[in-house]
Chains A and B, each alone.
Chain A
Amino acid sequence: MDAIKLSGVNFSYARGVKLDYVLSGIDLAVEAGQFLSFVGPTGCGKSTLLHLIAGLSQPSSGQLDLFGRVCAGVNTDCGYLFQSDSLLPWRTALENVTLGLEIRGVEKRSATELGMVWLDRVQLKNHHHKFPHELSGGMRKRVALAQTLITNPKILLMDEPFSALDVQTRSSMENLLLDLWSADRKTVIFVTHDIEEAISLSDRVIVLSAGPSSHPIAEFPVLLPRPRDVFEVRLAPEFLTIQREIWAKLKQEVEKTNARLM
């Protein structure tokens, strides 16, 4: 059974006769435990795709199934790591991590215990009492990661989560993500601009066409062995081959986008 299945999904913000599709004709199946990345030019509807899978937006037509069940509302099986800050500024790091448990009615003491375990996993145990504005950008991302994973979602949706971080912080976040992921291999949909990031993390990379009416145009399996280290994996000759192939596809789309925006 596929974890995620999109059949003939179209999406448009407008309603009416003349529809201007953001996404059109998306057919996609993702098996459970797969780490899938989407790359595509700016404005190709990558975030919209994640919103659809999370059930935060509904497709204009087509169907979404998660684990064989047709979805209509918000999918609480999904954890979502947003591009920008999603931490609540009035809650401490620990309180932010336990937010999902509190909302689900978990008793305070066991929520706090589990929260500390997760803060330890993202190496922030000693910062549990700090408010978000007292943490660095990388620390805030790690809190957000713990916050997303603590409720044990079956599917993890990530929308360019590390794009605002500097290169070193970013690589260590990527390694941390791979570490945490390898523990129970959730299904991951990862959206990024960055081909290298996509390859080094994923089992499968899909290239989206330039918008509007964006859709998948090519896909590449990534067979590099795991566990991987995102620094080292980039030196493998296979890595460079895939990177070249993906860029050849993506380049045309980027040029189309640029031509449209100029």
Chain B
Amino acid sequence: MSGILVIQEAGRNRISFEALAAGSALVELTGLSLETAAIGDPNSNVFVETSGTPPAVAHAIQHHLLETYTSDGYVHAFEQLIRKLDPSYIVFPHTYQTRDYAPRLATRFGQVLTSDVTAIEAGPAFVRQLFQGKMTGNYRHQGDGPCFISIQAGAFRANPPQEGKTTILPFEPQMTDDVIRTSPGAPFRGAAQTVDLGSAQLIVAVGRGIKDADNLPMVQELATALGAEIAASRPICDNGWLPMERQVGSSGQTVAPKLYLAVGISGAIQHLVGMKGSQCIVAINKDPEAPIFEVADYGIAGDLFEVVPALTEAIKAAGQ
């Protein structure tokens, strides 16, 4: 096909459609044609719902050994489809599943997955974040093999669906059960969720800048003064300073309150994906170049141990 193959993930339509939008951006830059592929029944949601101009062809990969996700199974199946189609570009949504199997798939072709791409520029050059968001890097693929990229959630906007007809081609890979070496169990929830941050209107979130668990009451006071829920970035929960259910980010909850006040949070992408949809974002951080300021509406570059108590006082005063 020598075109662009966009991999869709069943049950993850939104980010799959964003990957499709990134594929369309590549169509504009390269003039190549676009097809999609997903593992699943041709009648399943991932094929039925559409976004943007429908691709002329969608490949539905089916095999009973693919009913449960395993990296071995997916690598094996996609390897066969890619060898058959011979695309120039393969575009994935950057999900935990993609992170689990796509690097291995790329290695099988002697290639490297350029992961977590946030923009595609002329060349094509693939832009991704470095140093926890403090820098960006432009990557270029060289050589003849297929170019593998994965697209960060929220980086491309899914296009509204257009009229058109897609031919769904079934593809059954050759595979036997000895290909799959791991036995995955069914997904389960962690400790019962008693806090629903998703419905909170005001959130005060605390990060590594707080330095010590003993300093948390200061932030709790601010949250209480505001009538806000308290939340945290991953390291705070990793340390056991706040329960895991208060974690915001890719491994925690996704929130979109009216006000998200980030205290001592640098703004690594894993955190940003969980809160950047907030209506108003305030960041307090001592480092004026911290990536959190890139998504903030209001910023205070200063010592949180001075700013937070002052803010608590100001809110109390305003409330009286």
On whether the two chains bind one another, the answer is no
Task: Name B's A-contacting residues (CB within 8 A).
Answer: none
